[in-house]
Structure 1
Amino acid sequence: MKVKNWNKGIYLLKGLVLSYIITCILILFSSVLLTYSSLSEMKMPLLNTITMLISITVGSIYTAAKVKEKGWISGGIVGIAYYIILIALNMIFLRPLVFDIFSASKIILSSVIGVIGGIIGINLS
Protein backbone atom coordinates (compact mmCIF):
# COMPACT_ATOMS: atom_id res chain seq x y z
CA MET A 1 0.00 0.00 0.00
CA LYS A 2 1.41 3.35 -1.03
CA VAL A 3 1.35 6.35 1.25
CA LYS A 4 -0.25 9.65 0.18
CA ASN A 5 1.89 12.72 -0.43
CA TRP A 6 0.68 14.50 2.73
CA ASN A 7 1.69 11.54 4.86
CA LYS A 8 5.09 11.38 3.13
CA GLY A 9 5.81 14.92 4.27
CA ILE A 10 4.69 14.10 7.80
CA TYR A 11 6.98 11.05 7.85
CA LEU A 12 9.88 13.16 6.56
CA LEU A 13 9.33 15.65 9.38
CA LYS A 14 9.06 12.84 11.93
CA GLY A 15 12.30 11.35 10.59
CA LEU A 16 14.04 14.73 10.97
CA VAL A 17 12.71 15.18 14.50
CA LEU A 18 13.84 11.66 15.38
CA SER A 19 17.28 12.46 13.97
CA TYR A 20 17.59 15.57 16.10
CA ILE A 21 16.36 13.78 19.23
CA ILE A 22 19.03 11.14 18.69
CA THR A 23 21.56 13.92 18.08
CA CYS A 24 20.70 15.53 21.42
CA ILE A 25 21.00 12.22 23.26
CA LEU A 26 24.33 11.36 21.63
CA ILE A 27 25.76 14.84 22.23
CA LEU A 28 24.76 14.58 25.88
CA PHE A 29 26.47 11.18 26.04
CA SER A 30 29.57 12.62 24.35
CA SER A 31 29.65 15.49 26.82
CA VAL A 32 29.48 13.13 29.79
CA LEU A 33 32.15 10.96 28.21
CA LEU A 34 34.37 13.99 27.63
CA THR A 35 33.85 15.26 31.18
CA TYR A 36 34.39 12.04 33.10
CA SER A 37 37.00 10.24 31.00
CA SER A 38 40.48 10.92 29.76
CA LEU A 39 39.17 11.58 26.24
CA SER A 40 40.75 14.69 24.78
CA GLU A 41 38.82 17.55 23.25
CA MET A 42 40.64 16.90 19.98
CA LYS A 43 38.27 13.93 19.47
CA MET A 44 35.13 16.10 19.59
CA PRO A 45 34.92 16.77 15.82
CA LEU A 46 35.09 13.03 15.21
CA LEU A 47 32.40 12.37 17.85
CA ASN A 48 30.20 15.06 16.28
CA THR A 49 30.56 13.51 12.83
CA ILE A 50 29.75 10.04 14.18
CA THR A 51 26.72 11.51 15.99
CA MET A 52 25.53 13.14 12.78
CA LEU A 53 25.94 9.93 10.77
CA ILE A 54 24.09 7.78 13.32
CA SER A 55 21.27 10.32 13.57
CA ILE A 56 20.81 10.65 9.81
CA THR A 57 20.89 6.88 9.37
CA VAL A 58 18.21 6.25 12.00
CA GLY A 59 16.00 9.09 10.69
CA SER A 60 16.34 7.85 7.12
CA ILE A 61 15.56 4.26 8.07
CA TYR A 62 12.45 5.40 9.94
CA THR A 63 11.26 7.61 7.08
CA ALA A 64 11.83 5.03 4.35
CA ALA A 65 10.17 2.28 6.39
CA LYS A 66 7.07 4.43 6.82
CA VAL A 67 6.87 5.80 3.26
CA LYS A 68 7.36 2.31 1.76
CA GLU A 69 8.55 3.51 -1.66
CA LYS A 70 11.61 5.20 -3.12
CA GLY A 71 13.54 4.85 0.11
CA TRP A 72 16.73 6.24 -1.35
CA ILE A 73 15.01 9.52 -2.23
CA SER A 74 13.32 9.96 1.14
CA GLY A 75 16.54 9.01 2.94
CA GLY A 76 18.54 11.46 0.84
CA ILE A 77 16.03 14.21 1.59
CA VAL A 78 16.32 13.51 5.32
CA GLY A 79 20.12 13.63 5.11
CA ILE A 80 20.25 16.87 3.17
CA ALA A 81 17.50 18.53 5.23
CA TYR A 82 19.28 17.51 8.44
CA TYR A 83 22.49 19.18 7.34
CA ILE A 84 20.74 22.31 6.01
CA ILE A 85 18.95 22.75 9.35
CA LEU A 86 22.27 22.22 11.12
CA ILE A 87 23.86 24.94 8.98
CA ALA A 88 20.94 27.29 9.70
CA LEU A 89 21.23 26.71 13.45
CA ASN A 90 24.96 27.25 13.22
CA MET A 91 24.46 30.55 11.40
CA ILE A 92 21.87 31.74 13.91
CA PHE A 93 23.75 30.87 17.09
CA LEU A 94 27.45 30.67 16.30
CA ARG A 95 29.02 32.09 13.21
CA PRO A 96 28.45 33.00 9.57
CA LEU A 97 28.54 30.32 6.91
CA VAL A 98 31.93 29.54 5.43
CA PHE A 99 31.49 27.14 2.53
CA ASP A 100 34.70 25.20 2.09
CA ILE A 101 35.75 21.68 1.18
CA PHE A 102 34.89 20.52 4.72
CA SER A 103 31.30 21.79 4.38
CA ALA A 104 30.95 20.33 0.91
CA SER A 105 32.21 16.95 2.06
CA LYS A 106 29.80 17.00 5.04
CA ILE A 107 26.75 17.69 2.88
CA ILE A 108 27.79 14.97 0.41
CA LEU A 109 28.38 12.57 3.30
CA SER A 110 24.98 13.48 4.80
CA SER A 111 23.17 12.80 1.55
CA VAL A 112 25.01 9.52 0.91
CA ILE A 113 24.36 8.27 4.45
CA GLY A 114 20.71 9.33 4.07
CA VAL A 115 20.43 7.36 0.83
CA ILE A 116 22.02 4.29 2.45
CA GLY A 117 19.67 4.61 5.44
CA GLY A 118 16.72 4.93 3.08
CA ILE A 119 17.74 1.78 1.22
CA ILE A 120 18.06 -0.09 4.51
CA GLY A 121 14.69 1.24 5.70
CA ILE A 122 12.86 0.20 2.53
CA ASN A 123 14.31 -3.30 2.84
CA LEU A 124 13.27 -3.56 6.48
CA SER A 125 9.65 -2.70 5.78
Structure 2
Amino acid sequence: MINKTGQAAKNILSGHTNVITIIKGILISYLFTLPMFAIFAYFLRFTDFPLKYMSTAVIITTLLSIVIAGWISAKNVKSKGWLNGAIVGFIYMLILYLISSIVYRDFAVNSYVLILLAIGVLSGSIGGILGINLKR
Protein backbone atom coordinates (compact mmCIF):
# COMPACT_ATOMS: atom_id res chain seq x y z
CA MET A 1 0.00 0.00 0.00
CA ILE A 2 2.79 2.43 0.86
CA ASN A 3 4.49 1.70 -2.42
CA LYS A 4 1.36 2.65 -4.42
CA THR A 5 1.02 5.91 -2.47
CA GLY A 6 4.67 6.68 -3.08
CA GLN A 7 4.20 5.95 -6.77
CA ALA A 8 1.21 8.31 -6.96
CA ALA A 9 3.27 11.09 -5.38
CA LYS A 10 6.11 10.34 -7.79
CA ASN A 11 3.70 10.57 -10.76
CA ILE A 12 2.48 13.96 -9.60
CA LEU A 13 6.02 15.25 -9.42
CA SER A 14 7.30 13.52 -12.56
CA GLY A 15 5.40 15.42 -15.19
CA HIS A 16 1.81 14.18 -15.22
CA THR A 17 0.38 17.03 -13.17
CA ASN A 18 1.85 20.19 -11.78
CA VAL A 19 0.04 22.10 -9.05
CA ILE A 20 1.92 25.32 -9.79
CA THR A 21 0.90 25.36 -13.47
CA ILE A 22 -2.68 24.51 -12.51
CA ILE A 23 -2.81 27.49 -10.14
CA LYS A 24 -1.09 29.68 -12.74
CA GLY A 25 -3.63 28.64 -15.37
CA ILE A 26 -6.55 29.46 -13.09
CA LEU A 27 -5.11 32.86 -12.15
CA ILE A 28 -4.42 33.79 -15.76
CA SER A 29 -7.89 32.68 -16.82
CA TYR A 30 -9.49 34.91 -14.20
CA LEU A 31 -7.20 37.76 -15.28
CA PHE A 32 -8.74 37.26 -18.73
CA THR A 33 -12.30 36.87 -17.47
CA LEU A 34 -12.51 39.89 -15.16
CA PRO A 35 -11.56 42.55 -17.75
CA MET A 36 -13.94 40.95 -20.25
CA PHE A 37 -16.77 41.16 -17.73
CA ALA A 38 -15.85 44.80 -17.06
CA ILE A 39 -16.07 45.50 -20.80
CA PHE A 40 -19.49 43.83 -20.92
CA ALA A 41 -20.61 45.96 -17.98
CA TYR A 42 -19.40 49.08 -19.80
CA PHE A 43 -21.34 48.12 -22.93
CA LEU A 44 -24.46 47.48 -20.89
CA ARG A 45 -24.15 50.81 -19.14
CA PHE A 46 -23.28 53.10 -22.04
CA THR A 47 -24.70 51.42 -25.15
CA ASP A 48 -27.91 49.80 -26.30
CA PHE A 49 -26.35 46.33 -26.26
CA PRO A 50 -29.25 43.86 -26.16
CA LEU A 51 -29.46 42.21 -22.76
CA LYS A 52 -30.59 38.93 -24.33
CA TYR A 53 -27.06 38.39 -25.73
CA MET A 54 -25.30 39.02 -22.42
CA SER A 55 -25.60 35.48 -21.04
CA THR A 56 -24.21 34.10 -24.30
CA ALA A 57 -21.28 36.50 -24.12
CA VAL A 58 -20.61 35.54 -20.50
CA ILE A 59 -20.69 31.80 -21.27
CA ILE A 60 -18.38 32.20 -24.29
CA THR A 61 -15.93 34.28 -22.23
CA THR A 62 -16.00 31.71 -19.43
CA LEU A 63 -15.38 28.82 -21.82
CA LEU A 64 -12.52 30.65 -23.55
CA SER A 65 -11.00 31.39 -20.15
CA ILE A 66 -11.18 27.73 -19.17
CA VAL A 67 -9.63 26.58 -22.46
CA ILE A 68 -6.80 29.08 -21.94
CA ALA A 69 -6.33 27.85 -18.35
CA GLY A 70 -6.26 24.22 -19.51
CA TRP A 71 -3.73 25.09 -22.19
CA ILE A 72 -1.46 26.90 -19.74
CA SER A 73 -1.69 24.14 -17.15
CA ALA A 74 -0.75 21.42 -19.64
CA LYS A 75 1.88 23.03 -21.83
CA ASN A 76 4.75 22.12 -19.46
CA VAL A 77 3.73 18.59 -18.50
CA LYS A 78 4.80 15.42 -20.26
CA SER A 79 1.45 13.65 -20.47
CA LYS A 80 -2.18 13.69 -19.37
CA GLY A 81 -2.86 17.25 -20.46
CA TRP A 82 -6.55 16.41 -20.54
CA LEU A 83 -6.39 15.63 -16.81
CA ASN A 84 -4.66 18.91 -15.97
CA GLY A 85 -7.21 20.77 -18.04
CA ALA A 86 -10.12 18.94 -16.44
CA ILE A 87 -8.80 19.79 -12.97
CA VAL A 88 -8.45 23.43 -13.97
CA GLY A 89 -11.95 23.50 -15.45
CA PHE A 90 -13.41 21.95 -12.31
CA ILE A 91 -11.61 24.36 -9.96
CA TYR A 92 -12.48 27.37 -12.14
CA MET A 93 -16.17 26.46 -12.15
CA LEU A 94 -16.11 25.64 -8.43
CA ILE A 95 -14.69 29.09 -7.65
CA LEU A 96 -17.26 30.71 -9.94
CA TYR A 97 -20.05 28.74 -8.26
CA LEU A 98 -18.89 29.68 -4.77
CA ILE A 99 -18.59 33.39 -5.61
CA SER A 100 -22.00 33.38 -7.29
CA SER A 101 -23.56 31.48 -4.40
CA ILE A 102 -22.15 33.92 -1.86
CA VAL A 103 -23.31 36.96 -3.84
CA TYR A 104 -26.82 35.61 -4.40
CA ARG A 105 -26.96 33.74 -1.05
CA ASP A 106 -28.16 30.61 -2.78
CA PHE A 107 -26.06 27.45 -2.67
CA ALA A 108 -28.56 25.32 -4.55
CA VAL A 109 -27.14 22.71 -6.89
CA ASN A 110 -29.46 22.12 -9.80
CA SER A 111 -29.17 20.71 -13.30
CA TYR A 112 -27.97 24.08 -14.67
CA VAL A 113 -25.04 24.11 -12.21
CA LEU A 114 -24.13 20.50 -13.01
CA ILE A 115 -24.29 21.11 -16.77
CA LEU A 116 -22.04 24.17 -16.47
CA LEU A 117 -19.63 22.18 -14.31
CA ALA A 118 -19.49 19.40 -16.92
CA ILE A 119 -18.98 21.94 -19.72
CA GLY A 120 -16.20 23.58 -17.68
CA VAL A 121 -14.43 20.27 -17.13
CA LEU A 122 -14.79 19.37 -20.81
CA SER A 123 -13.51 22.79 -21.93
CA GLY A 124 -10.54 22.49 -19.60
CA SER A 125 -9.79 19.04 -21.01
CA ILE A 126 -9.83 20.44 -24.54
CA GLY A 127 -7.44 23.19 -23.45
CA GLY A 128 -5.20 20.59 -21.82
CA ILE A 129 -5.15 18.49 -24.98
CA LEU A 130 -4.21 21.58 -26.98
CA GLY A 131 -1.52 22.48 -24.47
CA ILE A 132 0.12 19.06 -24.77
CA ASN A 133 -0.15 18.79 -28.54
CA LEU A 134 0.71 22.36 -29.57
CA LYS A 135 3.90 22.87 -27.57
CA ARG A 136 5.85 24.17 -30.51
1:73 corresponds to: 83
Q: CA deviation at 1:12?
A: 0.5
2:99 corresponds to: 89
Residue pairs, 1:1-125, within 5 angstroms: 4=13, 8-125=18-135
- Runs ≥4 residues deviating over 3 A: none
Amino acid paired to 2:47: S
Q: CA deviation at 1:83?
A: 0.4
Cα RMSD (Å) of the superposition?
2.1
Alignment length (residue pairs): 124
The structure with the larger Rg is: 2
Give the match's secondary structure for 1:98: coil
Q: CA deviation at 1:48?
A: 1.3
Q: CA deviation at 1:102?
A: 1.1
C-alpha spacing 1:87/1:40, structure 2 compared with 1 (3 Å): same
Give the match's secondary structure for 1:68: coil
Q: CA deviation at 1:101?
A: 1.7
Q: CA deviation at 1:98?
A: 1.9
Structure 2: segments with no counterpart, 5+ residues: 1-10
TM-score, normalised via structure 1 length: 0.89
C-alpha spacing 1:123/1:65, structure 2 compared with 1 (3 Å): same
User: Share of identical aligned residues, percent?
Assistant: 30
Whole-angstrom distance in 2 between the partners of 1:33 and 1:5: 46
TM-score, normalised via structure 2 length: 0.82
Higher mean Cα deviation, 115-124 or 34-43?
Answer: 34-43
Whole-angstrom distance in 1 between the partners of 2:78 and 2:66: 18
Q: CA deviation at 1:5?
A: 6.0
Structure 1: segments with no counterpart, 5+ residues: none
